[in-house]
Amino acid sequence: MNEQQRKEMSQIKQRDAADRKSGQDKPLQEKTSSDFAKYFETTYEPPNLNKARKRGRDKVNVHYDFGIPEDIENIGVGKKFLIRTYGCQMNEHDTEVMAGILTELGYESTNNTEDADIILLNTCAIRENAENKVFGEIGHLKPLKLEKPDLILGVCGCMSQEESVVNRILKKHPQVDLIFGTHNIHRLPQLIKESFFGKAKVVEVWSKEGDIIENLPKVRKGKIKAWVNIMYGCDKFCTYCIVPMTRGKERSRRPEDIIQEVRHLAAQGYQEITLLGQNVNAYGKDFEDIAYGFGELMDDIHKVDIPRVRFTTSHPRDFDDHLIEVLAQGGNLLDHIHLPVQSGSSDVLKLMNRKYTREQYLELVAKIRKAIPNATLTTDIIVGFPNETDEQFEETMTLMAEVGFEAAYTYIYSPRDGTPAAKKTDNVPMDVKKQRLYRLNDLVNKQSKESMKRLENKVVKVLVEGESKKDPDVLAGYTEKNKLVNFKGPESSIGRIVEVHVTEAKTWSLNGIMVENTVEVN
Ligand code: SAH
Ligand code: SF4
Ligand code: F3S
């Protein structure tokens, strides 16, 4: 720390103390583990499904006035940050926002834990193994914190929204200095300030979702593809899922803000965007003043001059005819639809509260295929839901084949505290679940390989992302249907969409050679 910084810090401390004395500035929730129970009673409620279900349609305000308080503008100058991200695209994108905030504070990014002055673990709570990984990492970082007491070690993201996790960290992992959740990322500057100047741990977790903050800074991971949030939260309450508790109720961004962001990305040269939401098909349902849903949004984005538009995740229940009609226009709206089914058994779907049957799912697939004949479908599947029978699992296997999914993320059910499914007794032994997953994955691999085989000797359009991870002489990118292609071509094609002749199909990727005289596709 140089003299100037030391001086600034001392001024801030004095000002803070004066503000507190005069009662002008309410101290932040800065607590130690001993008074944490009291703190929880007053400002935090653990996930409570009944309450969450009843959560009202309180008005969501949109704020455009995010700014870094003057007194901490340069708090990160000469310092470095590192953020480790676990979980879904939503978390990846939140990390880009936190990186944006930290950069505005003057921090620079680093990949090396030893160089970092602040390390944030942006966590995921979806399954137990996701949580175990984070606890493992917290343990690994302990010696570093002991060596470097000034290091700020923070835990944020979905795990922080769980009371049991916060308690465990406070009890067993004193090396963690800062805990905040998914609803108060915009408070990162103030939280860092507290952590920096205060002696106690800083814990600030909001049990209730906040408003939408529009103008948060972002440092995006690349210059070719970008994430765009269209909504936050989830109101579906699938019985196995923690997300409605960790991410709060559904809140949609205003269409004009989304479209402006997409236009801006297009102007910056981005080639592909992915619209993000836990259940994008419910977009706009919370608007009271306009009748504007996901179909309308896609129709408007269709008109923006950006080559590729993807979206994730679609819930089958809200996938309506208008959306299918809009997607059928093609253009920049790609014909790859990720449509999680979770199970092929109507009985299990009912217990999961998915609100559709196997037959209804198949009807939806038929409708999509009729309107978009070349559509590629991929899915998510959970095996070993409590008391899932062999027959019910076989129904998942037959559905997998009947739909012809070209890829699937498959999981063994993991009980999450606070969800209804976790209270069920379960008569399916773990080795049976593992066996089922193994069989399902075999089928998924087979179907993926077949879909790749169909592309052999064909020409596909590839958005080139860079050199292949394994071989710098080979370039890598993705087709419109999101298939990985490794091919020989000039470096100048990075960031462009080029035509590649597929020479060989593998299970999860294609090999090829770039077609001469490729015309840029826009
Ligand atoms: N909102 C998205 C998915 C969010 S989580 C959707 O509904 O499709 C991503 C996937 O994780 C889910 O589709 C589901 O297959 C899986 N998942 C969620 N909770 C789980 C749990 N408790 N155990 C195992 N897998 C789970
Ligand atoms: Fe979880 Fe279901 Fe919401 Fe997806 S739709 S986030 S699985 S509750
Ligand atoms: Fe995980 Fe939270 Fe995403 S629980 S899957 S990071 S919404």
Give percent above pLDDT 70 in the chain.
Answer: 88
pLDDT of the residue at 271: 98
The secondary element (H helix, E strand) that includes residue 337 is strand 336-338
Instruction: Please indicate whether residue 156, judged by its CB atom, sits closer than 6 Å to ligand 3.
Output: no
Q: 55-71 as b/e, with b when 16 or more CB fall inside 10 Å?
A: beeeebeeeeeeebeee
pLDDT of the residue at 516: 72
Domain annotation for the chain: domains and CATH numbers: 26-204 (3.40.50.12160), 217-453 (3.80.30.20), 459-518 (2.40.50.140)
Q: 357-395 as b/e, with b when 16 or more CB fall inside 10 Å?
A: ebeebbebbeebeebbeebbbbbebbbbbbebeeebbeb
- Residue labelled with tokens 């253009």: 331
pLDDT of the residue at 23: 34
pLDDT of the residue at 397: 98
H helix runs in 208-330, sequence order: 243-247, 255-267, 294-302, 321-327
pLDDT of the residue at 210: 76
**Cβ atoms of 521 and 497 closer than 8 Å:** yes
pLDDT of the residue at 56: 64
The secondary element (H helix, E strand) that includes residue 358 is helix 358-371
Q: pTM for this structure?
A: 0.90
Phi-psi region of 389 (alpha: psi -120 to 50; beta: other; left: phi over 0): beta
- Residue labelled with tokens 């103008």: 215
> What does the alpha-carbon distance between residue 380 and residue 377 come to, in Å, rounded to a whole number?
11
Q: Is 346 helix (H, G, I), strand (E, B) or coil?
A: helix
Q: How far is the CA of 254 from the centre of ligand 2 (A)?
A: 22
> What does the alpha-carbon distance between residue 46 and residue 159 come to, in Å, rounded to a whole number?
12
Q: Is 156 annotated as a binding residue?
A: no
Q: How many residues does the chain have?
A: 522
Instruction: Please indicate whether residue 337, judged by its CB atom, sits closer than 6 Å to ligand 1.
Output: no
Give the residue ranges of the chain where pLDDT is below 70.
1-54, 56-57, 517-522
pLDDT of the residue at 208: 80
pLDDT of the residue at 342: 98
Nearest-10 crossing angle of helices 3-22, 188-197: 100
Sign of CA dihedral 443, 449, 455, 461: positive
Q: How far is the CA of 244 from the centre of ligand 3 (A)?
A: 10
pLDDT of the residue at 267: 97
pLDDT of the residue at 57: 62
> What does the alpha-carbon distance between residue 231 and residue 275 come to, in Å, rounded to a whole number?
9
The secondary element (H helix, E strand) that includes residue 309 is strand 308-312
Ligand 1 atom with least separation from CA of 314 = 8
**Paired residues of 314 in beta bridges:** none
> What does the alpha-carbon distance between residue 427 and residue 385 come to, in Å, rounded to a whole number?
10
Ligand 3 atom with least separation from CA of 159 = 4
What is the best residue among 88, 91, 236 to mutate for testing ligand 2's pocket, by most ligand atoms within 8 Å of CB?
Answer: 236
pLDDT of the residue at 46: 52
Number of the ligand closest to the Cα of 181: 3
Copy the structure tokens of residue 84: 């480790």
Ligand 2 atom with least separation from CA of 279 = 5
What is the best residue among 234, 313, 318, 343 to mutate for testing ligand 2's pocket, by most ligand atoms within 8 Å of CB?
Answer: 234
Per-residue pLDDT of 265-300, as tens digits, reads: 999 999 999 999 999 999 999 999 999 999 999 999
Instruction: Please indicate whether residue 352, judged by its CB atom, sits closer than 6 Å to ligand 2.
Output: no
Sheet order of strands, 108-109 included:
108-109, 80-85, 118-123, 152-157, 178-180, 202-204
Number of the ligand closest to the Cα of 246: 3
Q: How far is the CA of 415 from the centre of ligand 2 (A)?
A: 14
